[in-house]
Amino acid sequence: MSFKGMDIVSIRDLSREQIDQVLDLAERMIPYAKGELFTKAMDGRILANLFFEPSTRTRMSFESAMLRLGGKTLEMSHPSMMSIAKGETLADTIRMVETYSDVIVLRHPHEGSARLAAKFSTKPVINAGDGAGQHPTQTLLDLFTIRRQFGRIDGIKVALVGDLKYGRTVHSLAEALTLFGAEVTFVAPPPLQMPRETVRQVEKMGGKPKLTSKLEEVIKEADVLYVTRIQKERFPDPAEYQKVAGCYRIDNTLLREAKGDLIVMHPLPRVDEIAPEVDGTRHAKYFEQAFNGVPVRMALLQLVLGGDQL
């Protein structure tokens, strides 16, 4: 199935076969991502990173992915130094940047911005997070991490924990896990539960999501705890944030109740939802998960840009 020229705005843009294709190619990218093998597959190609919100892993792993493929990246300066600060619209910025590059990676605080950018760009646009909307490439690397760990996604019990309202990674992930036949449970305090639209979508896809606020109800059964940060910056009222800050904390005492092969994932950055003592345990997968962003994004770029065969 050809990906060439495709925008990746939502995980819904990809079929199960296409996701498998990305994950299979990502597997082959691992030695290149680690710098054990070298390639010039993207020689002469340019990726433009447009980040209007903070990012460490997504921006740097896209950059690393493009460099590991032998391509180059254009990094924008701080938004306050860009013409957007003079009142330029996102549409105009995109119209310019597409003439300087072959693919645009966009992170923006407004939901829907990636779809808008894709409309104005003739080059592929990859959504690197649009407000509380979607984060499809994070979902691909999350699926990759689970598949590598268990050899499958089908039937795996995944508890999504924390801020399911504003956390965009869980919105894309809940749908993708359902597409692959995993069982999802949404663990959040009531004001931060999964948006109804996502719950409905999961049900429409044949999933039977369980909703709870109690971690104790899932800890014994879960194969994956996917923990998220409370998204402080998206709360309209700081007092509301204070009410839910620190509501869950994963530590070794809690993990004693869990299955021996349970994995703890987190899109990172973490604040205080996973105790540092967990880092040294066999359960901790979040740093490996962050590395997986490189081979997965390499695979996606290779498919979208139609690079030379490796």
CA distance 137 to 304: 13
CA distance 139 to 158: 13
Per rule CB under 6 A, count of chain residues that contact ligand ASP: 6
Closest CA to 157 of 142, 170, 141, 146: 146
Shortest Å, Cβ 207 to ligand ASP: 22
Q: Which is closer to ligand ASP, CB of 48 or CB of 164? A: 164
Q: Which is closer to ligand ASP, CB of 233 or CB of 237? A: 233
Q: Which of 64, 101, 139, 169 binds ligand ASP (CB under 6 A)?
A: 169
Q: Which is closer to ligand ASP, CB of 244 or CB of 305? A: 244
CA distance 221 to 120: 46
Ranges within 227-266 binding ligand ASP (CB under 6 A): 229
CA distance 77 to 83: 10
| Single-letter amino acid code for the residue at 203 | E
Shortest Å, Cβ 254 to ligand ASP: 20
Give the strand order in the sheet containing 103-108: 72-75, 46-51, 103-108, 125-130
- Tokens 């109690």 belong to 214
User: Which pair of tokens denotes residue 115?
Assistant: 């779809």
- Is the bond leading into 269 cis (omega within 30 degrees of zero)? yes
Q: Is 168 in the site for ligand ASP (CB under 6 A)?
A: yes
Q: Is 68 in the site for ligand ASP (CB under 6 A)?
A: no
What x-and-dash track marks residues 99-138 binding ligand ASP by CB under 6 A? ------------------------------x-----x---
CA distance 127 to 134: 8
What x-and-dash track marks residues 263-282 binding ligand ASP by CB under 6 A? ----x---------------
Shortest Å, Cβ 274 to ligand ASP: 12
Q: Which is closer to ligand ASP, CB of 39 or CB of 137? A: 137
Q: Which is closer to ligand ASP, CB of 49 or CB of 302? A: 49
- Tokens 């997968």 belong to 285
Chain residues binding ligand ASP by CB under 6 A are: 129, 135, 168-169, 229, 267
